[in-house]
Amino acid sequence: MEQYRLVATPEGPITYRLVKKRVKNLNLRLDRAGEVVLSVPLRCPAERADAFVIEKSGWIVGHLPRPEEAPPLMPEPDRRECARLLEEAVLRVYPLVAGSGVSMPQIKLRKMKSQWGNCHYRQGYITLNTALARCPEFLRDYVALHELVHFLHHDHGPGFYAAMDARMPDWRKRRQDLKRYAQALVL
């Protein structure tokens, strides 16, 4: 199980990828792209993982590549405009999964502090973070497709990444660009 989390640290906000798997210890690393990844035992609470990242934040910041200046955020739209922008993103990318048997999901909106979106494939809906409405269209499209592909592949395994590669070859670049908008999650 994987999820992206955002924690406030003395060095500033840190976004990291939390991976729950069969390990005994908490394992913190920076991947080649400079992404912070924390692997934890399956039963480790997310709060413990957050505390570990906060504890190690000095080391993390010291080893991260220098970030580019954060881009300006678009003004926060009202609820109706937010719904329109995010529903349009889903409609733009839905044809990329429709041929694979994915039904159009219900779209829910919610302000979230540590995720851009999530998929509830069993219940047939996706939830998108309202903060996405403050990001450029190409990033909204990436998150929408990411959640739709979870109807095909429920985890972040090789099949998921292959499906993303086939449908949006530049998704890794978009994911990297989205990290620059992390301040939208906490505003």
**Assigned domain for 129 exists:** yes
Dist. CA 21–CA 157, nearest whole Å: 13
- How many domains does the chain contain in total? 2
Domain that holds residue 22: 2-63
Q: Is the pTM of this model over 0.75?
A: no
Say if residue 179 is in the same domain as residue 129. Answer: yes
**pLDDT tens readout for residues 137-159:** 999 999 999 999 999 999 999 99
Say if residue 95 is in the same domain as residue 182. Answer: yes
Say if residue 29 is in the same domain as residue 108. Answer: no
**Assigned domain for 71 exists:** no
Dist. CA 156–CA 107, nearest whole Å: 21
Pairing between strand 125-129 and 117-120? antiparallel
**pLDDT tens readout for residues 115-128:** 999 999 999 999 99
Q: What is the CATH classification number for the domain harbouring 105?
A: 3.30.2010.10
